[in-house]
């Protein structure tokens, strides 16, 4: 298996861990969602149902006692209608969809309890209706009592007033009846008061006492009525007294009405207590259901917590396994296998790139990196063979290039020597000895130049030390120009030499300084060789510590990309074979050996400008001890 197949396998394992973690999360969330649905849609609905039923039950508890205090039938019917609406609302709530509530107490039990409560309420309503009817009978009885009492008083007053018109004899005969009439009137007034008081007596003992008293009054009335004569004038009085006594002792008298009323009140209290009992039973059932819903909610919450805990454990296990597998892959396989092998391979490549073709290349594994190592070993072996061939070719090319450069450096002064020799021969023949001597002097200088060039090559090859001493810059420039006097390009070039007045003495090797100046001027001549108007400037200036020599031309200049390489050995912009590329490098090293600097002037826009900065010669500082 290669790296690609192993990577796909690792990715597949990590994907499997991710899928398992997602599956655990999905199952956990589904269970949590089911429990929450159970709490919200079932338990909460059940709690809401119980709360609504309790609310209607509380309304019935408040309204039921008001039935007993209803003053009239209209108020009674209104209260009864409101109570019936509450009962009907409770039944409607239970009959909508009890299955979704999952009631512990069956809905039929609750409905039976409410129906029982409704039956008791119906009985209470009927009993209250009879109470109101009894109250109406009391009112009618009271009106009848007042009417009979008023009629009796009118009749008896009429009889007593008519006695005033009787004669004395008739008056004496009527006195017996008159005394009976006064007793009857007093007893009727007393009976009327007793009957009227019966309607408002609060306790049973008072009612019994008045009943006994009224019986005694009725008996006294009967005795007094029997004493009256049989006169037609007393018939109305007797009838009125009889009607009044019937109100106290007759059928459906006031005492029976009051007993019936008390029975109804007591029964209403019993029925009201029964209503409260049924409501208490209903509340107990509702409380039981509410407690069950609460317990179910707590159970659901515990299930949710258990699911979350279990999901966390599985998630931690899967994530931990995934991280462990990932660490093993990254640390063992990628770190200790792939990265280590790539690092080793990279080190081998760097060693080979730096030229160490004997570097050992480790080949471990049969994957892509192993194939790369095999390819690198094959490349190293081929490169080693090619390097030997290139070294041999480079040696031959270097010898040829060095030979061409040396020939160029020597042929130039040799051509000048040949020219001066031929002229000297003719001048001697013409007797112009002085001019011939000047030519011989030039020949001597050129010979010295050749010797100096060969010495410099030997010095560069052997690293011979410089002979540092006081050197006059002006003289060094003149000697360098004298050695270039036979150059054809120089003859067509406008040469400007700007030397300061006074001493320009530096601390350097005179021959090497002349060589540096000559190399810079020679390069300037090569740069302006193709120009129509050729200009070279040699400028010298200085301060207390340094002297600067600038050689500038109006040639093509040096591209910025090549300025950093222009001072490197064997680097040249001229055609191969015409120059070794050692002139500027030798000049740079020579100036550096003087304690100075050779730099390229970056501020020049046209052509090129080289600056030689040398330490000014100071007596005492640069003198050698004896």
178 pLDDT above the threshold of 50: yes
Q: How far apart are CA 342 and CA 80, in angstroms?
A: 97
531 touches 547 (CB < 8 A): no
pLDDT band for position 487 (cuts 50, 70, 90): confident
Residue 369 in tokens: 């990196």
Question: What is the arrangement of strands in the sheet containing 597-600, beginning at the earlier edge strand?
Answer: 493-498, 534-542, 546-553, 609-615, 597-600
Are residues 342 and 349 in contact, defined by beta-carbon separation less than 8 angstroms? no
Does residue 476 carry a pLDDT above 80?
A: yes
What pLDDT digit, counting tens, does each position of 326-355 carry?
777 777 667 667 777 778 878 888 877 776
pLDDT in tens, 522-534: 888 888 888 888 8
- On the question of pLDDT at 39 being above 70, the answer is no
pLDDT for the residue 625: 43
Enumerate the β-bridge partners of residue 542. Answer: 547
Question: What does DSSP say about strands 534-542 and 493-498: parallel, antiparallel, or unpaired?
Answer: parallel
CB contact at 8 A, 513 and 472: no
C-alpha–C-alpha distance, residues 219 and 187, integer Å: 10
Mean pLDDT for the stretch of residues 598-606: 82
Higher per-residue pLDDT: 102 or 490: 490
The per-residue pLDDT for 576 is 41
pLDDT band at 11 (very low <50, low <70, confident <90, very high): confident
405 vs 370: which has the higher pLDDT: 370
For the chain, percent of residues with pLDDT exceeding 70: 76
DSSP secondary structure, 608-620, as one string: -EEEEEEEBP-TT
Say which residue, 181 or 90, is predicted with more confidence: 90
In the predicted model, is pLDDT for residue 617 greater than 60? yes
- Residue 174 clears pLDDT 60, i.e. is over it: no
Residue 8 has what pLDDT? Answer: 72
Provide the pLDDT confidence category of residue 105 given band limits of 50, 70 and 90.
Answer: low
| Contact (CB, 8 A) for 285 and 105 | yes
3 state SS of 28: helix
Query: Given this model, what pLDDT does residue 199 score?
Result: 65
pLDDT tens-digit readout, 546-560: 889 999 998 888 877
Q: Residue by residue, what is the 3-state secondary structure of 555-605?
A: CCCCCHHHCCCCCCCCCCCCCECCECCCHHHHHHHHHHHCCCEEEECCCCC
The per-residue pLDDT for range 400-458, each reduced to its tens digit, is 656 666 676 677 778 888 888 888 888 888 888 888 888 888 888 778 767 766 765 66
**What per-residue confidence (pLDDT) applies to 395?**
58
β-sheet bridge partners, residue 506: 471, 616
Q: What is the mean pLDDT of residues 287-291?
A: 78
Q: Which of 322, 329, 327, 324 is nearest to 22 (CA)?
A: 322
| pLDDT of residue 165 exceeding 60 | no
CA distances from 2 to 9, 158, 208, 367, 612 (A): 11, 143, 119, 5, 63
Residues above pLDDT 90, as percent of the chain: 1
576 or 547, greater pLDDT: 547
Instruction: Report how far residue 530's alpha carbon sits from residue 168's, in angstroms, rounded to the nearest whole number.
Output: 194
Mean pLDDT, residues 459-480 taken together: 75
Give 204's pLDDT tier (boundaries 50, 70, 90): low
Q: Is 465 helix (H, G, I), strand (E, B) or coil?
A: coil
Which pairs count as long-range contacts for 534-537, CB under 8 Å and 24+ apart, including other chains?
534/489, 534/492, 534/493, 534/494, 535/493, 535/494, 535/496, 536/493, 536/494, 536/495, 536/496, 537/496, 537/497, 537/498
Residue 435 has φ and ψ, to the nearest 5°, of: -70, -35
Q: Is the pLDDT of residue 538 over 60?
A: yes
Say whether pLDDT at 203 is over 70.
no
Q: Which of 573, 505, 495 is nearest to 533 (CA)?
A: 495
pLDDT in tens, 62-102: 888 887 777 788 888 888 888 888 888 888 887 765 544 45
Query: Given this model, what pLDDT does residue 577 score?
Result: 40
pLDDT at 251 over 50: yes
Q: Is a pLDDT exceeding 70 seen at residue 167?
A: no
* Residue 111 clears pLDDT 50, i.e. is over it: yes
pLDDT band at 391 (very low <50, low <70, confident <90, very high): low
Mean residue pLDDT of the chain comes to 76
The pair of structure tokens assigned to 118 is: 């409704």
Report the distance separating Cα 423 and Cα 437, nearest Å: 11
Q: Find the range with the poorest average confidence among 216-230, 492-506, 576-590.
A: 576-590
Asked if pLDDT for residue 462 goes beyond 70, the answer is no
What was the pLDDT predicted at 626? 40
């Amino acid at each position: 298996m290669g790296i690609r197949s192993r990577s796909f396998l690792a990715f597949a394992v990590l994907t499997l861990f991710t899928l398992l973690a997602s599956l655990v999360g999905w199952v956990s969330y589904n269970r949590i969602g089911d429990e929450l649905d159970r709490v919200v849609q079932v338990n909460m609905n059940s709690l809401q149902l119980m709360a609504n039923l309790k609310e209607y039950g509380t309304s019935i508890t408040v309204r039921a006692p008001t039935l007993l205090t209803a003053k009239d039938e209209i108020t009674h019917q209104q209260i009864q209608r409101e109570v019936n609406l509450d009962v009907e609302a409770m039944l409607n709530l239970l009959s909508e969809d009890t299955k979704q509530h999952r009631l512990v107490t069956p809905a039929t039990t609750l409905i039976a309890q409410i129906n029982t409560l409704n039956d008791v309420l119906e009985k209470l309503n009927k009993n209250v209706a009879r109470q109101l009817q009894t109250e109406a009978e009391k009112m009618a009885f009271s009106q009848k009592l007042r009417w009979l009492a008023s009629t009796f008083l009118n009749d008896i007053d009429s009889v007593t007033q008519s006695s005033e018109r009787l004669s004395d004899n008739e008056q004496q005969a009527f006195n017996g009846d008159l005394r009976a009439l006064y007793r009857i009137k007093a007893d009727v007034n007393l009976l009327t008061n007793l009957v009227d008081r019966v309607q408002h007596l609060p306790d049973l003992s008072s009612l019994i006492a008045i009943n006994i008293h009224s019986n005694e009054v009725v008996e006294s009335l009967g005795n007094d009525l029997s004493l009256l004569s049989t006169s037609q004038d007393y018939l109305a009085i007797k009838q009125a007294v009889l009607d009044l006594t019937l109100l106290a002792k007759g059928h459906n008298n006031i005492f029976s009405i009051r007993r019936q009323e008390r029975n109804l009140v007591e029964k209403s209290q019993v029925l009201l207590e029964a209503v409260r009992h049924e409501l208490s039973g209903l509340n107990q059932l509702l409380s039981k259901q509410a407690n069950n819903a609460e317990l179910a909610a707590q159970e659901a919450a515990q299930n949710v917590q258990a699911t979350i805990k279990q999901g966390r454990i599985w998630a931690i296990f899967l994530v931990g396994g995934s991280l462990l597998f990932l660490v093993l892959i990254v640390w063992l396989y990628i770190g200790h296998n792939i990265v280590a092998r790539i690092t080793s391979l990279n080190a081998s490549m760097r060693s080979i790139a730096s030229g160490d073709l004997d570097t050992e290349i480790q080949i471990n594994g049969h994957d892509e990196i192993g194939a790369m190592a095999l390819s690198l070993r094959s490349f190293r072996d081929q490169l080693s063979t090619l390097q030997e061939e290139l070294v041999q070719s480079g040696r031959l090319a270097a010898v040829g290039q060095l030979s061409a450069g040396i020939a160029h450096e020597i042929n130039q002064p040799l051509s000048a020597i040949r020219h001066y020799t031929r002229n000297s021969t003719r001048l001697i023949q013409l007797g112009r000895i002085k001019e011939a001597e000047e030519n011989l002097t030039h020949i001597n200088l050129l010979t010295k130049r050749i010797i100096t060039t060969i010495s410099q090559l030997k010095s560069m090859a052997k690293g011979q030390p410089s002979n540092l001493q006081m050197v006059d810059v002006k003289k060094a420039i003149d000697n360098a120009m004298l050695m270039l006097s036979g150059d054809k390009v120089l003859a067509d070039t406008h040469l400007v030499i700007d030397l300061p007045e006074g001493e320009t003495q530096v601390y350097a090797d005179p021959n090497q300084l002349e060589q540096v100046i000559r190399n810079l001027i020679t390069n300037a001549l090569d740069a302006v060789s193709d120009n129509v108007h050729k200009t070279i400037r040699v400028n010298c200036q200085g301060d207390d510590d340094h002297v600067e020599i600038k050689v500038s031309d109006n040639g093509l200049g040096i591209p910025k990309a090549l300025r950093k390489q222009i001072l490197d050995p064997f680097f040249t912009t001229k055609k191969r074979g015409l120059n070794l590329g050692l002139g500027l490098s030798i000049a740079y090293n020579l100036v550096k050996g003087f304690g100075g600097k050779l730099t390229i002037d970056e501020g020049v826009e046209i052509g090129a400008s080289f600056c030689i900065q040398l330490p000014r010669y100071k007596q005492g500082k640069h003198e050698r001890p004896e």
